[in-house]
Structure 1
Amino acid sequence: MTTLPLRPGLRLRSRTCTTEVVVIRPGTGTGALECGGVPMTSPDDDQPAAAPPATGADGVQLGKRYTDPTHTLELLCTKAGAGPLTLGGTPLTVRAAKQLPASD
């Protein structure tokens, strides 16, 4: 399995659970984008599913944006799953909502 180059609009799915994401910003990080410890694949890929993760992860939440520690990579979850999402072994976290300006 080869690692897909990340680009905006790229759709990816997990091979270990139901998670599906869309790349919003490809980031500058190196390493494979993984879900459940297995590299993510194209939705068209007919590769057999790997064993599900053994951890009791919080899961990937529908509609949430996930980012790396440098905040250069950004993914949008389009289908929830068990997760977790990682980039080169580093866990991705839910991106906090931006504060709106006060309307005083």
Structure 2
Amino acid sequence: MASPAPTPRPGDQLASATGTTRVIVIRAPQMADGPIECGGSPMVPAAQAPAPAPAGDAPGALIGKRYVDAADTLELLCTASGSGPLTYAGQPLTIKAPKALPASD
């Protein structure tokens, strides 16, 4: 199994080592505080990902949703849904709320 990238960079494509989840890094901190994980396993570069395992029953990432950490320093875009929660440095990532559009009068 390939080791994950030590510091994620915008544009990196990551895949779950144990499931079907795939993400693209939209925004990343200057220095990584820990690994990006899916279902408790570190994510690996998508080009080096093993064949996806069947999805389980655990709630996981949803395709098309953006996920952010509590400090809003890391943002991921889910490109393939799968089982297992997304975490960064041991903390769960949450779905980013959509921006409100300005009202037109």
TM score, norm. by length of structure 2? 0.84
Report the AA paired with residue 31 of structure 1.
G
- Structure 1 runs of 4+ aligned residues shifted over 6 Å read none
TM score, norm. by length of structure 1? 0.85
Identity %: 50
Q: Distance in 2 between matches of 1:70 and 1:25?
A: 12
User: 3-state SS of the aligned residue for 2:100?
Assistant: coil
Which of 31, 38, 41 does residue 38 from structure 1 map onto?
A: 41
Report the AA paired with residue 8 of structure 1.
P
Matched, 1:21 2:23: yes
- Structure 2: give runs of 5+ residues left out of the alignment: none
Which of 10, 13, 25 does residue 11 from structure 1 map onto?
A: 13
Report the AA paired with residue 90 of structure 2.
G
Q: Please tell me whether the aligned partners of residues 27 and 74 of structure 1 are also in contact (alpha carbons under 8 angstroms).
A: no
Q: How big is each residue's C-alpha offset from its partner over 1:7-60, in whole Å with a ceiling of 9 and x where there is no partner?
A: 01000000121000000001255000000100000122155879x88xx54210
Aligned length: 101
Q: How big is each residue's C-alpha offset from its partner over 1:41-92, in whole Å with a ceiling of 9 and x where there is no partner?
A: 0122155879x88xx5421000000000011100000000012100011000
User: 3-state SS of the aligned residue for 1:44?
Assistant: helix
- Structure 1: give runs of 5+ residues left out of the alignment: none
Q: Which aligned pairs between 1:1-104 and structure 2 lie closer than 5 A? A: 2-4=3-5, 5-28=7-30, 30-45=33-48, 57-104=58-105
